Amino acid sequence: MLKVIVGEEVGERSSAYENIPVIEFHAYAPSLPGIRNYFKNERLYPRLAARIEQLVKSDGIQLVHGQHVLSAPPSVVAARRTGIPSVVTVRDYWPVCYRSDLLHSPATLALCPGCSRAAGLEHGNPRIGVLGFGQYVARRYLASNMATKRRTLAAADAVIAVSSVIARDLRERAPELARTRLDVIPNPVNITALRHRVPPARPMAEPYALYAGKLAVNKGTDLLIDTIVAADLDWPLVIVGDGPDHARIADAARRSGRDVRFKGWLDAAATATWIAHAGILIFPSRGPESLSRVLIEASALGVPIAAMLTGGTADIVEDEITGLLSTDVAGLAEDVRRIRHGEVLRNRLGAAAANRAAEKFDSTAVVATIEALYRELLAGRSA
């Protein structure tokens, strides 16, 4: 396994992940916006491609799988140079958006209006703090950067999109991929290990609703307090996570008079414990979610979910079957109210979600699907 780390260091280190040998490839990038991205892309890609090519030749590697925007383009280049198949997993919107989020404006959360590169590349000003001639240079650079990423991605033998929405947006916004194999395979979760990690003791005695994740506008956390007020929720709302919206949410909570408890960032085990014992998970995200791990874990742990219908959320939550989906605050609040006051509904949604998660997202099934793809590509290359 090759892990790319961008920062102040340069060179390589050896480490391990779950007994798998790891080569840490450290690359330098300054902290200056814009310049940093140039170092993470145009400066990094040729060096990393050459290193991967060396590993392919020295270790007899038969297939390369790029997992990140930093490693995917160099992986495809190295594979083509050495004549072996390449696979790339796309977990967000980096092939069609310079910022990887498709948000045209953080204030409105409107999706990029088809420019497929970055907010401002074809409409308005680029959000990189430059004016005049700098805007022209920035647009040219962004266009070149995105064209290179899409052209290289299109040369992969197979592209894996982690959700149906990611796959749809790649097809619609990246015409270069028209002839590239595109499979939908979700991120895997070791559900057995997740369930074993959760202690039977509750983190708090009384029932509670939960939000887990980053406190930021694209996550819809500014809607949390309005939602529980409209739902007249009489359970405490526990918030696990932190972010730029913390102060605003805390202020809204004080003004609402509701019982809102902030736990900050917690490790994976503690977060799983809070999720597992929640009476309801509230997921107000308005951004183009690719495939939320929080939703998968909550489903696997049998927690009823009230979520906004956005991005790949519908790949996890089936409305009225494994959770409840809505499109506005009023709908989300009504779903929270229904789950809070419907014990039968809570039990039904939680049980169905746990079964669906085990079937669709468990690591055993997902890894088997990926291995089948590997075998197919290797067989095709041999033929």
- Of 356, 215, 206, 225, which is closest to residue 296 (Cα–Cα)? 356
Mean pLDDT calculated for residue range 109-130: 50
* pLDDT of the residue at 383: 66
Is a pLDDT exceeding 70 seen at residue 165?
yes
Confidence grade of residue 119 (pLDDT, cut at 50, 70, 90): very low
Share of the chain above pLDDT 70, in %: 91
What is the three-class DSSP state of 260?
strand
Burial 133-146 (b: 16+ CB within 10 A, else e): eeeeebbebbbebb
Q: Is 132 exposed, middle or buried (0-12, 13-18, 19+ CB in 10 A)?
A: exposed
Within the chain, where are the H helices?
35-38, 44-59, 72-82, 133-154, 164-173, 191-197, 224-230, 246-256, 268-276, 293-300, 313-316, 329-341, 343-360, 363-382
* pLDDT of the residue at 103: 72
242, 95: one domain: no
285, 377: one domain: no
Is residue 296 within 8 Å of 357, Cβ to Cβ? yes
What is the three-class DSSP state of 317?
coil
374, 338: one domain: no
* pLDDT of the residue at 132: 54
Q: What is the spatial distance between Cα 292 and Cα 241, in angstroms, rounded to a whole number? A: 15
What is the three-class DSSP state of 110?
strand
User: 208: domain CATH number?
Assistant: 3.40.50.2000
Q: How many domains does the chain have?
A: 2
Is a pLDDT exceeding 60 seen at residue 133?
no
Give the tens place of pLDDT for each residue, 189-213. 999 999 999 999 999 999 999 999 9
Nearest-10 crossing angle of helices 293-300, 343-360: 110
What number of other Cβ atoms are within 10 A of residue 367's Cβ? Answer: 13
* pLDDT of the residue at 141: 81
128, 249: one domain: no
Most trustworthy range by pLDDT among 33-42, 129-138, 270-279 = 270-279
DSSP strand pairing (110-111 vs 103-105): antiparallel
Mean pLDDT calculated for residue range 74-94: 96
46, 79: one domain: yes
87, 133: one domain: yes
Q: What is the spatial distance between Cα 290 and Cα 313, in angstroms, rounded to a whole number? A: 8
Q: Tokens 């650079």 map to which residue?
A: 141
Is residue 212 within 8 Å of 283, Cβ to Cβ? no
Q: What is the DSSP letter of 370?
A: H
* pLDDT of the residue at 309: 94
Confidence grade of residue 128 (pLDDT, cut at 50, 70, 90): very low
Provide the sign of the torsion angle of the four alpha carbons 10, 14, 15, 20, taken in this order. positive
Confidence grade of residue 36 (pLDDT, cut at 50, 70, 90): confident
Angle 366-148-88 from CA coordinates, rounded to 5°: 10
Confidence grade of residue 116 (pLDDT, cut at 50, 70, 90): very low
Give the tens place of pLDDT for each residue, 309-330. 988 999 999 999 999 999 999 9
pLDDT averaged over the chain? 90
Q: What is the spatial distance between Cα 105 and Cα 288, in angstroms, rounded to a whole number? A: 13
* pLDDT of the residue at 124: 46
**348 Cβ contact partners less than 8 Å away, ≥ 6 residues apart:** none
* pLDDT of the residue at 105: 60
Question: Domain range holding 144?
Answer: 2-188+364-382
Q: What is the spatial distance between Cα 30 and Cα 40, in angstroms, rounded to a whole number? A: 9
- Return the structure tokens found at 231: 């739902």
88, 126: one domain: yes
Is a pLDDT exceeding 50 seen at residue 123?
no
* pLDDT of the residue at 307: 97
- Return the structure tokens found at 259: 């019982």
* pLDDT of the residue at 312: 92
The amino acid at residue 45 is Y
What number of other Cβ atoms are within 10 A of residue 174's Cβ? Answer: 23
195, 137: one domain: no
Give the tens place of pLDDT for each residue, 266-292. 999 999 999 999 999 999 998 788 899
Confidence grade of residue 117 (pLDDT, cut at 50, 70, 90): very low
Q: Which of 5-19, 156-170, 235-249, 341-355 has the lowest mean pLDDT?
A: 5-19
Q: What is the spatial distance between Cα 277 and Cα 141, in angstroms, rounded to a whole number? A: 49
* pLDDT of the residue at 109: 60
Query: What's this model's pTM, rounded to 2 decimal places?
Result: 0.88
Confidence grade of residue 83 (pLDDT, cut at 50, 70, 90): very high
184, 196: one domain: no
Please report, to the nearest 10 degrees, the dihedral formed by the alpha carbons of residues 269, 275, 278, 279 taken in order: -150
82, 231: one domain: no
Is residue 85 within 8 Å of 377, Cβ to Cβ? yes
**Which of the pair, 122 or 100, is modelled with greater confidence?**
100
* pLDDT of the residue at 130: 44
Mean pLDDT calculated for residue range 360-375: 96
Q: What is the spatial distance between Cα 218 and Cα 108, in angstroms, rounded to a whole number? A: 9
Q: What is the spatial distance between Cα 304 and Cα 279, in angstroms, rounded to a whole number? A: 7
Q: Which of 7-11, 32-36, 37-41 has the lowest mean pLDDT?
A: 32-36
* pLDDT of the residue at 382: 73
Q: What is the spatial distance between Cα 318 and Cα 103, in angstroms, rounded to a whole number? A: 25
* pLDDT of the residue at 142: 83
286, 183: one domain: no
241, 351: one domain: yes
